[in-house]
Amino acid sequence: MSEPIKPIVDGFGRKHDYLRISLTERCNLRCFYCMPEEGVKLRDKSEFMSAEETIEIAKVFVGLGVKKIRLTGGEPLVKNDAEYIIRELGKLPVELAITTNAVIVHRFIDVFKEAGIHSVNVSLDSLKEERFNDISRRNYFKQIKDNIDLLIENGFHVKINVVVIKDLNEDEIVDFVTWTQKTNLHVRFIEFMPFDGNNWNWDKKVSFKEILAAVGLGLGKDNFIKIEDAPNDTTRNYKLVDGKGTFGIISSVTNPFCDTCNRIRLTADGKIKNCLFSAYETDLLSAFRSNLDIESLIRDAIHKKEKERGGMPEFSHEDVLKHNNRSMITIGG
According to the model, what pLDDT value does residue 204 have? 80
Three-class HEC string of 69-114: EEEECCCHHHCCCHHHHHHHHCCCCCEEEEEECCCCHHHCHHHHHH
Identity of the residue numbered 10: D
User: What is the rounded CA–CA span in Å between residue 185 and residue 187?
Assistant: 7
Above 80 in pLDDT, residue 189? yes
Average pLDDT (216-242) is 95
Query: Do residues 186 and 247 make contact, with C-beta atoms less than 8 angstroms apart?
Result: yes
CB neighbour list of residue 42: distance below 8 Å, 6 or more residues apart: none
According to the model, what pLDDT value does residue 258 have? 83
For residue 321, what pLDDT band results from cuts at 50, 70 and 90?
low
Above 90 in pLDDT, residue 182? yes
Work out whether the CA dihedral 55, 61, 62, 63 comes out positive or negative.
positive
Above 90 in pLDDT, residue 212? yes
In the chain the domains, ranked by start, together with CATH numbers, are 16-331 (3.20.20.70)
User: What is the rounded CA–CA span in Å between residue 77 and residue 67?
Assistant: 22
β-sheet with 271-273: strand ranges across: 224-226, 236-240, 246-250, 186-191, 157-164, 119-123, 95-100, 68-72, 18-22, 263-266, 271-273, 281-283
Q: Which residue has the higher pLDDT, 316 or 291?
A: 291
Average pLDDT (268-282) is 87
Q: What is the pLDDT of residues 35-86, one digit of tens each?
A: 766 666 778 899 999 999 999 999 999 999 999 999 999 999 999 999 999 9
159: number of CA atoms within 13 Å, CB side? 19
Residue 5 C-alpha from the chain's centroid: 27
Percent of the chain with pLDDT over 90: 71
Average pLDDT (162-181) is 96
User: What is the rounded CA–CA span in Å between residue 197 and residue 194?
Assistant: 9
According to the model, what pLDDT value does residue 20 have? 96
Query: Do residues 170 and 204 make contact, with C-beta atoms less than 8 angstroms apart?
Result: no
Average pLDDT (102-107) is 98
According to the model, what pLDDT value does residue 254 have? 72
Query: Do residues 264 and 272 make contact, with C-beta atoms less than 8 angstroms apart?
Result: yes
Query: Do residues 272 and 21 make contact, with C-beta atoms less than 8 angstroms apart?
Result: no
Helix (H) or strand (E) holding 297: helix 294-303
Identity of the residue numbered 314: E
